[in-house]
A and B are shown apart, each in its own frame.
Chain A
Amino acid sequence: MLPLFVAIPLGVGFLLPLIEEFRDRTRLFSVFVLLETGGLLALSLIKFGDKGIYRMGGWAPPFGINFVQDGLTSLILVVISGIAFVTTLFAITYMKEYENLGRFYGLFSLMLAGMYGVALTGDIFNMYVYLEVAAISSYALVGFNRGAEEIEASFKYLIMGAVGSVFILLGIALLYGSVGSLNIADISVKVSELPNDSFIVLSTALFIVGFGLKAAFIPFHSWLPDAHSSAPTPISAMLSGVLIKVLGIYALARLLFNGLNLPGVAPSILTWIGAGSMFIGGMIALGQKDLKRLLAYSSISQMGYITLAVGMGGILINQGKPGIATLALMGGIFHLVNHATYKSLLFLFSGSVEKIFGSRDLSEIGGLNSISPVSGAAGTIGTLSISGVPPFNGFWSKLVIVIAAIWGKLYPLAGIILFTSAITLAYYLKVQRQLFMGKPTKKASELTKTSAGLYIPLIILAICCIGLGLLYLPEIRGLVLKPAALALQEGSEYTKLVLGL
């Protein structure tokens, strides 16, 4: 069943542009995409918790390409499908006035196919191919509005993304040159026989830079604010919500933990890059006036949390503290899920704000609570979750990360996490004060009414933001987060699963 995750979006992705060549049927396209994402969501929920591999064409693992499903993959599949479904629900109303919707949904489906492929594949070159499928469709989607600014952002994203891909490809080539295998599990076996091989060290560095460009860690982040704020709103939500995580941190963690067996200083480098992204991203977000740009910088900052937690897990594994390492990894994965929900909520919310006021500039708009209470409430829940206010999900994942840092005796990191949380709260309080409270500005008097299609997705995501806090409970955590963390931590389990050793 696993190839269906790639086959269905690939089929829809080529079918819709084909139909559009003959007839422009916007409603038909929306039905198709809703069925596609809804079906994939159902499939990912049915398959949740399964473990196993799928041999493509029946060829056995070290030589043939295989799809692997373990605890982490199950969770990532649900996150991709869930966000894609809600985003489609929003896009159907939001994108109504646009032209070429067959192409839009086609590219959207291809991007989905690429992300599912990256999440599932157990072959490093296959991963590169899926990564490019997802990345190239997202370059085109960022420039979909075809204004001067959008094209510029798309071009910048294209160049930076291509540089990242070249780094990754070079890393794969060097790794293949020294171990002679492309299968991640097989690489893990062969790397352990070749300690301190300089080509492997170099390829690890290339992977950190290449995937770092895709995940927008702080020295490599310059494309993200432009790309994420220029894309059509549903695409911004997909890019910030899932794409940077799947193509960036998930792929990197999979390679470092399961493929390269956590080489020496790599986890510490990851941790400090994460801490830097978190802090600097937050500081830049503090000064932003454009709502979407503020959200984009906040994505960089929040990705820092995830990276820091994953890197910290690696450090603790290398120090021989597996229990705390599991906790750190669980915190990182928990934060990944949470950030996917509230960041896509906030981006979709920024889209409906733009529809209401005709502007995203925080100094020009205000008084949302009295104009549209429903989207105001959803936006409030989103901002409170991301700043880590207690009953909402963001608080619990940050708490887990901080506890792991303190138990692991990494006190400076715990300090940076707490300080950045305060910064996050500060810039979202600024949004609260200017956007939700205050008097409606002059522009708001001539506003358009939002339709149900624009706020139902917001309500769904807001409920997720409250409900996902339940993952903190030990019973549910053991069912969902722990298998995901152990999938990264227990490299030998992964090898056993794929190669059957």
Chain B
Amino acid sequence: MTGMSSIVKTVTRWVSPFIFAFGIYIALTGHLTPGGGFPGGVIIAGCFILLTLAFGKEATFRLFNLKSSSVTDSLAALSFLCMGLLGYVFGSGFMNNFIESGFPGTPFRLLSGGNMPILNLAIGLKVGASLFAVFAYLALFRAIEED
């Protein structure tokens, strides 16, 4: 049996969906409330790290392995850059908020703020994937050393 004791596993099983949902919430409402893509991504990565610690890395890698984290990482960074470049096409320049100009964002309205929620989502994915990748690489090298 890999991973920690059944107490840890049970608690993790109960808690982790809430942590994951909280991370998504922080990332998605970053343009309206304190928070944003970066803390949201850190919380999501924290959820995966908790799962890895409790159930062992094989269980987590079935959900999300090194290759998929690296691909998500690069794709999220590229989509952030694309949003910046789209400002050239539709707006007045790089990183221009071409969807909603002026001072964007309406309180309590999720779909407001123009390109801000999209950028926050990209950052959330990027930070979550790359933090998890750092942890996963460390776990992997530890395993090689033990063999």
Residues of A within 8 A of B (CB): 3-4, 7, 10-11, 14-15, 17-18, 21, 54-58
Contact = CB atoms under 8 A, between A and B. Distances in A.
B32 interface: no
Contacts of B59: none
B84 A58 contact: no
A56 B78 CA distance: 18
A3 B91 CA distance: 15
B28 to A, nearest CB: 21
B12 interface: no
Contacts of B93: 3, 54-58
A3 B96 contact: no
Contacts of B50: none
B96 A58 contact: yes
A7 B84 contact: yes
Interface string B80-94: 010011010001111
A14 B97 contact: no
A484 B94 CA distance: 27
Contacts of B78: 11, 14-15, 18
12 contacts: A4-B94, A7-B81, A7-B94, A10-B77, A14-B77, A18-B70, A21-B67, A54-B94, A55-B93, A56-B94, A57-B93, A58-B91
A15 B92 contact: no
Nearest to B75: A18
B60 interface: no
Nearest to A17: B74
Nearest to A11: B81
B contact patch SS? helix
B53 interface: no
B3 to A, nearest CB: 28
B71 interface: yes
Interface string B55-81: 000000000000100110011011001
A54 B75 CA distance: 27
Most interface-central of A14, A17, A56 (chain B CB within 10 A) = A14
B101 to A, nearest CB: 8
Contacts of A57: 87, 93-97
Given A7-B81, A7-B85, A17 B96 contact: no
B74 A14 contact: yes
Contacts of B85: 7
B5 to A, nearest CB: 36
B14 to A, nearest CB: 34
A56 B91 CA distance: 12
Contacts of B97: 57-58
A56 B83 CA distance: 13
A18 B87 contact: no
Contacts of A11: 78, 81
Contacts of A7: 81, 84-85, 94
Most interface-central of A15, A56, A58 (chain B CB within 10 A) = A58
Nearest to A3: B94
Q: 9 shortest A-B CB distances, which residue pairs?
A: A18-B74, A3-B94, A57-B95, A14-B77, A14-B74, A56-B95, A14-B78, A57-B96, A11-B81
A14 B75 CA distance: 8
A57 B77 CA distance: 18
Contacts of A3: 84, 93-95
Interface string B90-114: 0111111100000000000000000
Given A3-B94, A3-B95, A57-B94, A15 B74 contact: yes
Given A7-B84, A10-B81, A14-B78, A21 B96 contact: no
Contacts of B75: 18
A391 B128 CA distance: 56
Contacts of B84: 3, 7
A3 B71 CA distance: 25
B96 A18 contact: no
B133 to A, nearest CB: 11
Contacts of B81: 7, 10-11, 14
A3 B94 CA distance: 7
Contacts of B95: 3, 56-57
A367 B87 CA distance: 58
A57 B94 CA distance: 6
Contacts of A55: 93
Contact of B71 (A10, A21, A56): A21
A57 B84 CA distance: 9
A4 B96 CA distance: 14
A71 B122 CA distance: 36
Contacts of A15: 74, 78
A3 B83 CA distance: 13
Nearest to A103: B70
A80 B15 CA distance: 50
Given A3-B84, A10-B81, A11-B81, A58 B92 contact: yes
A7 B80 CA distance: 11
Contacts of B74: 14-15, 17-18, 21
A184 B92 CA distance: 24
A14 B78 CA distance: 7
Most interface-central of B67, B70, B77, B85 (chain A CB within 10 A) = B77
Given A14-B74, A14-B78, A57-B94, 19 more contacts: A3-B93, A3-B94, A3-B95, A7-B81, A7-B85, A7-B94, A10-B77, A10-B81, A14-B77, A15-B78, A17-B70, A18-B70, A18-B71, A18-B74, A18-B75, A56-B93, A57-B87, A57-B95, A58-B97
Nearest to B78: A14
Contacts of B67: 21
Contacts of B87: 57
A17 B92 CA distance: 31
Contacts of B94: 3-4, 7, 54, 56-57
A58 B78 CA distance: 22
A121 to B, nearest CB: 13
A101 to B, nearest CB: 16
